[in-house]
A and B are shown apart, each in its own frame.
Chain A
């Protein structure tokens, strides 16, 4: 990270940059509030600390994945491999700790390292060959999926040491129990919100997504930046893998099959533009929470789960429509 960022001749109006980084969260936040109000009125059980704590626990894995996904989408890329990479990381962590004689902390480090490695390879292929992110990560999705099943021998891994499941344990906050994993996820979101909003690295990521050529002409090392973003995203998927293991208490080779699209859903619902350069990680947290609130609320109402899928689909199309319309206005 460099301290002296070059001046941005292309981004002269402060209001415009502010719009790029801050504004998109307003709409999703309103949608989330509206959904919460609706379910509070229609069900007795929705409005309770225990239930909110539950929703946060339920969205933390997709939420963590959505952080990495947001970084990549901000560079106008996409990552289809995040769920599969996470699954491999979770099996790596579970298997080395439960069946190998590896200390749990080393197992966790191995899992994080392997996930970061997948991200690094994605980044190198996107940048150096170069290949479209969609293709690279589609390939990596299959590679990570297959390796997960080969490495796990198709077996669910049980009997994990407590160090791996610690994040799934709770501590009391007021009258509610909150998991350590929820706190870690929220801390992760705050850290990345700060990094994107307050550092030159973050500004470079936005610049790269808006116009790689303009960013390059302004002295941003776009190649190194792109590869770094994919690697950091991979590392975050490793953290998601640990959250997943701690939540389910097992290493599950079937995990992660829909999480790639779920994370993209969260990012899109959070107001981040799929065309890059515009959006926030906090928006993605809100996006993940919207999906979680609907799933939880509809279940409390007794609505069958297929309608959650229906509603999620409608929300995604609405969110992209809003993005497209507002983008036209900015241009």
Chain B
């Protein structure tokens, strides 16, 4: 070892030891204020805090959910704190958010779990500290990992458009393309399964001519549709996981001049998607209600904090088929209703 490094080294090591000691001292000596942090929720005059953790900050579905939560928070006189993952599936950020919100003394946490299984241990820790945890939009696995679930019945959402497509195709031989979400994501699987059930076919049926993942993304939906058209140019029904994927599919069909004779059905009921139904780009969509999920969630936590009972079990926040070309035997509302109740 040269003389030069020896001169520099002690400085680095001294800094290292100093830093470690400082970290440990800070960690160990914080006991005084620790008491006050755990008492913040109940003892002080602070307003009740409720946390909302969404999958991302950017998806309009979650933006709308946040808006609904904010309105409900104001109405119920509680403080709303929010956090989100960086991308759909970002479990680590959701765990961090749960921990930080628990440290901030929230009374309850509303969460749209990005990974239904991976989030479970973190939720268990928060609940052990007395925080009520309610899943919104999609369940945890097992569902009992949270106190309650406020969500769309995604199987039913799929069934509605499946039944609609079957009625609309009456007398014609269906050749179906499914533009799905991603492998291993429960929401996508449930909608897909629901569609097949509503259409009266089972997985692997030969009327399914193409299945592609889109991640619920418009550009990827377009690519997927282009590839499906290469594979089976005579397809005539397109199931899509959500409306961005449906609009991508429409763009691809239009480029081939097929937009008039292919039936597109979808799920979500966002305002852009509902408008696309009105414009005739999408035949029908199953509308869900993120505002209701958030409002009910906030209210449940506020009630619990004010001495009421804990919310429990599954609450179906409803789903409605929206179309301007109704089929007999399939309950639906028109796009005027859809646009009045859409999100995003």
Residue ranges of A at the interface with B (Cβ–Cβ < 8 Å): 3, 5, 7-8, 11, 14, 17-18, 20-22, 25, 29, 43-45, 47-54, 56-58, 61, 153-156, 158, 173-176, 178, 186, 189-190, 193-194, 196-200, 202-203, 244, 247-250, 252-255, 257-258, 280, 282, 285-286, 295-296, 299-300, 302, 304-306, 309
| Pair B9/A197 contact, Cβ less than 8 Å | yes
Closest B residue by C-beta to A192: B16
Binary A-proximity of B24-58 (CB < 8 A = 1, otherwise 0) = 10111111011011001000000001000000010
Q: CB-CB < 8 A to B13: which residues of A?
A: 193-194, 197-198
* Total number of B residues with any Cβ neighbor in A under 8 Å: 65
| Pair A198/B92 contact, Cβ less than 8 Å | no
Contacting residue for B12 out of A11, A21, A54, CB 8 A: A21
- Some 12 contacts from A to B, beta carbons below 8 A apart, are A45-B40, A49-B30, A57-B99, A178-B27, A190-B16, A194-B16, A196-B12, A197-B12, A197-B13, A198-B1, A249-B120, A257-B86
Most buried by B among A20, A22, A309: A22
Q: Report how many A-B pairs have Cβ atoms within 8 Å.
A: 213
| Pair A254/B16 contact, Cβ less than 8 Å | no
Q: CB-CB < 8 A to A11: which residues of B?
A: 4
**B180 contacts partner chain A, Cβ-Cβ < 8 Å:** no
**B158 contacts partner chain A, Cβ-Cβ < 8 Å:** no
CA–CA, A312 and B57, complex, Å: 16
| Pair A254/B5 contact, Cβ less than 8 Å | no
Closest 10 CB pairs of A and B: A49-B30, A174-B28, A175-B31, A154-B184, A249-B121, A254-B89, A299-B100, A197-B12, A48-B30, A156-B117
Contacting residue for B2 out of A5, A20, A300, A309, CB 8 A: A5
Residue ranges of B at the interface with A (Cβ–Cβ < 8 Å): 1-9, 11-13, 15-17, 19-20, 23-24, 26-31, 33-34, 36-37, 40, 49, 57, 79-84, 86-87, 89-93, 95-97, 99-101, 103-105, 114-118, 120-122, 182-184
CA–CA, A233 and B101, complex, Å: 33
> Distance (Å) between the CB of B139 and the closest chain A CB?
14
CA–CA, A304 and B97, complex, Å: 11
CA–CA, A51 and B49, complex, Å: 18
Q: CB-CB < 8 A to A5: which residues of B?
A: 1-2
Q: CB-CB < 8 A to B97: which residues of A?
A: 299, 305
Most buried by A among B2, B12, B82: B12
Q: CB-CB < 8 A to B57: which residues of A?
A: 304-306
CA–CA, A7 and B81, complex, Å: 58
CA–CA, A52 and B146, complex, Å: 27
* Known interface pairs A21-B8, A300-B100, A302-B81; A44-B33 also in contact (CB < 8 Å): yes
